[in-house]
Amino acid sequence: MKLVCLSLAFLVLTIGLTVAALAGEATMIAPLSEDAQNQTLPVTTPSTAAARYFENGMVHYENHRWNLALNDWHEAVRLDPNFALAYTWICLTTADPTEEKDDRALAKATMKDASLGEQLMVRWMAGIHENNYVEGISAMNDLLAMYPHDKRLNFLIAYWLYRQDEYDLSEKLALKALAEDPNYATAYNQMAYLYSRRAEYDKALQAAAKYVALLPNEPNPHDSYGEMLRLSGRFDQALEQYRLALKMDPTFYISQKELGETYAIMGDGPKARAEYAKAIHDAPGNGVKAEYLQKSAMTWVRDKQYEQADDAYLDAAEKAHVMQQWIWEARAYRIMGMYEPDHASAMKHLQQAEAVLASKAGIVAQSDVDEEQARIWRVRAERAVAVGDLATAQKSVDQLAKMASSGGSVSIDRTYQGAEGTLLLAQKKYLDAVPHLEEDFANPVSMKLLVAAYQNVPVKRRSPKDKDKDNYKEKATALSNKLAAWKIPSIEEALVVPGFRAQETPVASQK
């Protein structure tokens, strides 16, 4: 049975927003104000210059120039220290945990003088960062119901939903943004990524090409087109697009990172590390540097060179500590606990990760702490299963169940689902494991386990009503092929896909 909890999709579809609302047919939560009649979220500031910087920042954000967006918003709050909306977008974008905490407090303190819509945006931001998802998603829903025709708002929420792997909801809003403005370039970018996650690469490339056509002189459209090419297996063409983006703007560090990503997926660790080194050097802030250091370290894991991986991750952890990137420091130790062959050593790494999180309680956003802690509990469950200690694994799964059922993020819910599925599979409860693992659909570790669950579901336990629609052997083959073709870099991908890819032919040939 699936844990009964308030999932993100449930919250979006039930708290003040229906499917009809996503199509622009919502009943307003309150009488329309003048601002609502204008159909765009207002920007409250007495400073014309601050408003101009804020708008410039939003355009930069849409073009994935996040460092430039932050620069503009910093200038906006310098000109207007009571600019709640600018503080909000700094919080939603910054990779600096101290800045996120401080500006979140400032956004909440200054929102009293802002419009109702802006106050709802502050409550959305605060809710998701303080791990109060019921309140946060409720505010997001109310905000969208107030301004259903604001194309930017539709896109911004679509983008946030995409980052939560809520693809269907994201697509509805991205299409709504395009219905409002068929030439809204960034919405085509969003659609390209949504198509790619469904392996609809022809559609993804068409959407990305439209994005390039609308913004031919911006680097990000070429970067996105390159990623669609990479995901469809056209590596050389992808590299050309990233280099074209860098030719347009040598400071566009995202494309420099993508060169590393592409070589990593191609299995060329030395070239990947060389490109990542340039990206680390060019990264505009410590949060990005900390992330890219671990992407480089991951190349050693992909090649199963664990001693070199240890050196790289320890270096990344130490640098993250110096840069006050506490979540990245904890994450480095947690990842070491994932690939470490020795169980006792793995447990020590996980203890180090938890110690970092415990020492930064109240300093880092609670949502970030809780999500990383949830991932640690999942690794604890996996390591316990690996050594046959199912009782210890159950304790970790129980901890995750409590966190997920208390209204945590969609990431926490899926982490729980993957851990529960892992334990049920170890207990040979294959049919029970299936729905849990299916919930964690974007995680290669869960995908690999789901293939095993599909392959081992006893025929006698299949429901007669499902016999036509649930052919588990066919599902296993389809998922095996999907996993073997997976080209989205992550630690889970690095641990699973290279080895699994070698099994593609024999698995796919099973009938």
Residue 22 burial (C-beta neighbours within 10 Å; 0-12, 13-18, 19+)? buried
Residues 6+ apart with CB under 8 A from 415: 371, 374, 375, 377, 378, 400, 404, 440
Q: Which residues pair with 361 in a beta bridge?
A: 364
For 132-140, the CB contacts below 8 A with 24+ separation are: 132/407, 133/6, 133/8, 133/11, 133/407, 133/408, 133/409, 134/6, 134/11, 134/15, 134/407, 137/8, 137/11, 137/12, 137/15, 138/11, 138/15, 138/16, 140/12
Q: What is the pLDDT of residues 67-112, one digit of tens each?
A: 999 999 999 999 999 999 999 999 999 999 889 999 999 999 999 9
Q: Is residue 292 part of a domain?
A: no
CATH of the domain at 149: 1.25.40
Q: Is 50 exceeded by the pLDDT of residue 22? A: no
Spatial separation of the C-alpha atoms in residues 27 and 21, rounded to whole Å:
7
Q: Is residue 416 part of a domain?
A: no
Give the 3-state secondary structure of residue 488. coil
Q: Is residue 397 part of a domain?
A: no
Calculate the CA dihedral of residues 53, 129, 163, 441 and round it to 10 degrees.
180
Given 153, 185, 217, which residue is the final one in a domain?
A: 185
Under 8 Å between Cβ of 349 and 337: yes
* Model pLDDT, residue 470: 61
pTM of the model: 0.88
Q: What is the pLDDT of residues 402-443, one digit of tens each?
A: 999 887 788 999 999 999 999 999 999 999 999 999 999 999
Q: Is residue 142 part of a domain?
A: yes
Half-sphere exposure of 161 (CA within 13 A, CB side): 29
* Model pLDDT, residue 114: 96
Q: What angle do CA 425, 426, 430 make, to 5 degrees?
A: 25
Supply the DSSP symbol for 285.
S
Count other Cβ atoms within 10 Å, centred on residue 172. 18
Residues 6+ apart with CB under 8 A from 163: none
Given 185, 213, 237, which residue is the final one in a domain?
A: 185
Residue-range definition of the domain harbouring residue 479: 428-511
Supply the DSSP symbol for 32.
P
Q: What is the overall mean pLDDT for the chain?
A: 90
Total count of domains within the chain: 2
Q: Is residue 475 part of a domain?
A: yes
Q: Is residue 79 part of a domain?
A: yes
Residue type (1 letter), 376? I
Q: What is the pLDDT of residues 261-307, one digit of tens each?
A: 999 999 999 999 999 999 999 999 999 999 999 999 999 999 999 99
Supply the DSSP symbol for 457.
-
Q: Is 60 exceeded by the pLDDT of residue 309? A: yes
Q: Is residue 255 part of a domain?
A: no
Under 8 Å between Cβ of 219 and 241: no
Of 195, 185, 238, 193, nearest to 216 (Cα)? 185
Given 163, 185, 207, which residue is the final one in a domain?
A: 185
H-type alpha helices, 15-65: 19-22, 34-37, 48-62
Q: Is 60 exceeded by the pLDDT of residue 14? A: no
In the structure encoding, which two tokens stand for residue 423, read together? 């334990």
Under 8 Å between Cβ of 500 and 484: yes
Q: Worst-scoring range by mean pLDDT, 4-18, 83-97, 172-186?
A: 4-18
* Model pLDDT, residue 131: 80
Q: Residues 285-305, buried b or exposed e (16+ Cβ, 10 A)? A: bbbbbbbbbbbbbbbbbbbee
Spatial separation of the C-alpha atoms in residues 59 and 220, rounded to whole Å:
12
| SS3 of 93-144 | HCCCHHHHHHHHHHHHHHHHHCCHHHHHHHHHHHHHHCCCHHHHHHHHHHHH
Q: Is residue 300 part of a domain?
A: no
Residues 6+ apart with CB under 8 A from 102: none
Q: How many helices (H) and strands (E) does the chain have?
A: 29, 0
